[in-house]
Amino acid sequence: MAKYKAVVVNTGYETYDLEREILKPADAQVVVVTEDSMTEDDVINAARDADAIFVREAPITARVLKSFERCKIVARYGVGLDNIDLETARQLKIYVSNVPEYGTEDVSDHAVALLMGCVRSLLVRDQNLRNGNFEFDICDEIFRTTDKTLGLLGYGKIGQAFHRKWQGFLPNKVLVYDPYVDTEFINANGAEKVELDKLLHESDFISIHAPLTPETKHIINTAALKKMKNTAILVNTARGALIDTYALAKALQEGEILRAGLDVFEKEPIPGDHPLVSMSSVILTSHVAWYSRESTEDLQGGAAKEILRVLSGKPPVNWVNPW
């Protein structure tokens, strides 16, 4: 019988051989649930006696954490931590870790792809062709990227990667709203730190790369959308609740902004009757910006290595609830 038990409470990867290989030195058994644990009771039933938890979106609430009999670490497959009660975990001396480096290139790639898809109105062009309309002549709101103003709402690793990649499109200027990043650092990267209102008013393209906090929830709301150009394009690959999507749908319908590209939603999956689903001015993808073959290996391996450290008597490298 193995010394430790590590439970994967959210499935979704092809194999968990990498986790098993990494945790062999700790004599840890990796148990994968047969069905996703998407309620508190599911998690409690699956992992009450676990020494370590691998989690994606499952709720790791105070009730769940207090039910664990000997859990030492909750390892998040990903970056965001809004489904984990960090304070309760701290009080219970349960380590929480994440994998902050795994998807920087992948998410920024996807954000650039969404923005370019919106800029060139690619979904409409694709559908027109498939419907038999080969557009020899075209009249649409398509503008070149050169000399346009890019706005970055959030300037962490992914925002910086997006900026680096977008430089090749020769923007006129790059505006950054991020209260937590030094002006000197932003300036050194060739951008300008601004207040949110200035970014909204002046940007032709806005890409969101901010964390979800009480302060940033619905940071893009009706009032914010009214401040944007009617030719503006908005992209979100961060967290769905950063945008009031019903306000966004209304703004698109009324021509207050031009197009949007979204990979994340406040409720996932997005309801089939949500007005955005039927709109040709929006590109929607199903929270897949993080994915590539390489990023998946980085993600699974990164989470397993944190558990290995804790089971070996060390704190995790990416320890997010220190005491």
pLDDT, one tens digit per residue, over 193-229 is 999 999 999 999 999 999 999 999 999 999 999 999 9
Residue 243 tokens, joined: 């945008």
124-151 confidence digits (pLDDT tens): 999 999 999 999 999 999 999 999 999 9
pLDDT score for 26: 98
Q: What is the mean pLDDT of the chain?
A: 97
Confidence class of residue 67 from pLDDT cuts 50, 70 and 90? very high
CA dihedral angle for residue 90, residue 243, residue 291, residue 129, rounded to 10 degrees: 170
- pTM equals 0.88
* Alpha-carbon span 183 to 149, nearest angstrom: 18
Architecture of domain 104-284: 3-Layer(aba) Sandwich (3.40)
DSSP 148-168: PEEEEE--SHHHHHHHHHHGG
- Domain 4-102+292-311 in CATH 3.40.50.720? The answer is yes
Domain with CATH 3.40.50.720 in the chain: 4-102+292-311, 104-284
Confidence class of residue 66 from pLDDT cuts 50, 70 and 90? very high
E strands present in the chain: 4-8, 28-32, 52-55, 73-76, 95-97, 149-153, 173-177, 192-193, 205-208, 233-236, 259-262, 282-284
pLDDT over 90 at 153, yes or no:
yes
Catalytic residue numbers read: 239, 268, 287
pLDDT score for 80: 85
1-26 confidence digits (pLDDT tens): 899 999 999 998 999 999 999 999 99
Residue 299 tokens, joined: 């993600």
pLDDT score for 37: 87
226-240 confidence digits (pLDDT tens): 999 999 999 999 999
Instruction: Report whether 281 contacts 254 (CB < 8 A).
Output: no
Give the number of other CB atoms < 10 A from CB of residue 31. Answer: 16
Give the number of other CB atoms < 10 A from CB of residue 80. Answer: 15
What is the percent of the chain with per-residue pLDDT over 70, rounded to a whole number?
Answer: 100
pLDDT score for 205: 99
Question: Average of pLDDT values for 298-305?
Answer: 98
24-59 confidence digits (pLDDT tens): 999 999 999 988 889 999 999 999 999 999 999 999
